[in-house]
Structure 1
Amino acid sequence: MATLQAPVHDKAKCAAGLKAAVAILEKWGATGEQATAILRVSRSTYARAKRRDPAWQVSLDEDQLTRISLVLNIHAALRVIFDNPENLYGFMAMANHNDYFNGRAPLEIIASGGILALYEVFQRIDSLRGAQW
């Protein structure tokens, strides 16, 4: 009988992705508590990623890697939509009165820690860029 094994991910690449996501979340104005909930990492892992030590490595699971991917993809979509840094980095903290957001900032929604909320925010922001890829 075959057993399923979780894929093994390169620890250095996991650390690089986490460091990038942490840097983006900081530019969006996320608190440490929000960032740890969004990425589903411990405070100590978050603190290590924030230091950006090039030799640091970390093991992450599929859920954490998916969360990092969604943060990076939201950032990529915002880069297509906005030319100026104020909107690029400020959008996530701005109140949004469109459907689904109902006056809440996207950052507030994703800080709930739910991966479905993170994915829904990504989908809504990604749809704003249209066919610009």
Structure 2
Amino acid sequence: MTSSAARTSDGARGDVFDPQCPTRQLLDRIGTKWTSMAIKVLAESSPDEVRFAELQRRMAGVSQKMLSVTLRNLARDGLVSRRVEPTVPPRVHYRITDLGLSLEVPLAMVRAWAEEHMAEINRAHQIGQEAVSDR
């Protein structure tokens, strides 16, 4: 890693090939299916807010805990803003930030690629599994 890449905390570019670079941790967080789905739902609703329950309903299969962790990470990274209404129970609203909107384009490309090539990947996976079981 170059010395400039080491200074990620002050705005320098990271180096994903450096095991100590925080870019790897960021990629772990933004590379999940739940992150991709949350960003998509929030981007489609932008500039409006979306309540937690609505996000959970639109993201079939996500548990309350996983959605909570995902949204907490997105908010911590500045990709999503969070607003809590002090009611009983509290109403929690989420809105995508400009930084989060900038992530939607590359994530949309990855989602589209996955949907387009899923049949090929499944065939390759099946062939690979058959080769392993033939040994």
Q: TM-score, normalised by structure 2?
A: 0.26
Larger radius of gyration: 2
Q: TM-score, normalised by structure 1?
A: 0.26
Hey, which of these two has a bigger chunk of strand by percent? 2
